[in-house]
Structure formats: structure tokens, C-alpha cells
Amino acid sequence: MILTEFKPVEEILEKLGAEKKIFILGCGGCPEGAETGGKKVLNEMKDTLEQKGLEITGLIEIDFLCQKSLIRSRIKPRKEEINAADSILVFSCGLGVQASAEVMDKVCHPALNTITFGGITGMWQGKERCDTCGNCILDLTGGICPYTACPKTLENGACAGQSNDKCETDPERDCGWVLIYNNLKRIGKLELLDKFIPPRDYRKELPTAKLRNSKLWAYDEEVAE
């Protein structure tokens, strides 16, 4: 099971900024087990955000958000609610946010941080990769992870090493920042690239002992009690 945790509500509100109309997209897979998803949790989150003055245009739970064709078919009847929203708030691991961002025409904000994959890389493995860094900034990078898509893990834009939009490390590999540019251009949000992203906090890659000793972390006999 992929383990995720909530970003603080204040951080989510800061990310949303002036966007007040939000569509909630939840993954019915792993987050339900990690208690960061599931109908009850999503409805609670909806209430919390409404109390903070946001308008929730709609809410949908899909199992699983790592499956792009499933997302495409399930959101079809919800087009109106999605069109009415300024952006999408996604409750899933980094893979689900990346897959959603490819399908959606709006910015997909991660509501969760991904802590560990527990041995799997999504139920429906796609090309998306998540670094389980606990600092998710996928909303600022068009749903393409600069930590896994760029070998230099650059956060504030491309280096000058690409040639024909391929990476300097491998002529067969797409430049992650060109992918970021193209997707942000597609959804009309290139201005997001002007935002300065401070260095990431590597402490978040070190889960607490409490978490490591919980059933969420491992099903080892000694911690399963």
C-alpha cells in the first residue's frame, strides 16, 4: 500500500490562493487504507474547506487515480462541475496527481504528501514516477515531477543542457522541464513557472519512528500487533 499523509490545511489554502472554486478528486485505493482518502474523509475535508470559504463544485472518488483511462471515463459525466472549478484538489499519492494532471485541463493541487510506496509503484503502473519526498509541488510543475523527471532535480526551471528537447544525460530521454513547460502551456498556466520554489526539506524523507512502527508502514509480524 502507498502511504500518504495530509498536507496541513493552511498549506493547501496557500496553494489555492485566489482559486475559490474547487473540484475534489479522491483516490479510492491506497488513501482509504492510509486514512487520507475514502468517502468519509473526503466529505470531512469538503466541510473543512467550505468552512474556510471555498466553494466545492463537486467531489468524486475513483479507484484508482494511477489509471488514466479510468479517470477519463469517470470524469466524463462530471464535466460541468469540473468546468465550474478554478482548479482540482487531488487526494492521492504523487502518481495519482501526475496522472490526473495529464488528463485534466486545470491545475491539479496535491492535497497529500507521499511518504512511501510500501513496495509497489501504483496499482496500474504508468510512466509516472514519485520520489516519495513528502514535499509535493506537482501543482506548480504541471503535474510532472521535477524530482523524477529531471536528473538534476531542478526546481526553478530547465538547465541549458537539453538538445532537441532531450536531456543532456541521455539523448533518448525527454527533458523533464520541456514536458513541464508543454503541459503548463496546454492548460494556460505558464505564469506558474515565475514562482520561486525554495530548496526542499529533506527531513520529510525521514519518516518518524512512530510511523515506521505502525501497521501503515509495514506488515511485519512484530509491528502488526
Binding site for other proteins (CB under 8 A): 151-165, 168-169, 175, 177-178, 181-182, 185, 190, 193-194, 196, 198-199, 202
Minimum CB–partner distance for residue 14 and other proteins (Å): 19
Minimum CB–partner distance for residue 201 and other proteins (Å): 11
Provide the terminal-to-terminal Cα distance of the chain, rounded to the nearest Å: 18
What does each C-alpha distance from 71 to 30, 77, 137 come to in angstroms?
16, 11, 21
209 CB contacts (<8 Å, ≥6 apart)?
A: none
Cell reading at 223: 509491528
Minimum CB–partner distance for residue 202 and other proteins (Å): 8
Minimum CB–partner distance for residue 86 and other proteins (Å): 23
Q: Which is nearer to other proteins, 107 or 150 (CB)?
A: 150
Q: How far apart are CA 33 and CA 14, in angstroms?
A: 27
Q: Which is nearer to other proteins, 196 or 221 (CB)?
A: 196
Minimum CB–partner distance for residue 134 and other proteins (Å): 16
Q: Which is nearer to other proteins, 69 or 169 (CB)?
A: 169
Q: Which is nearer to other proteins, 43 or 183 (CB)?
A: 183
Q: Are 183 and 101 in contact (CB under 8 A)?
A: yes
Q: Which is nearer to other proteins, 169 or 213 (CB)?
A: 169
DSSP state of 85: -
Helices (H) and strands (E) in the chain, counts: 9, 8
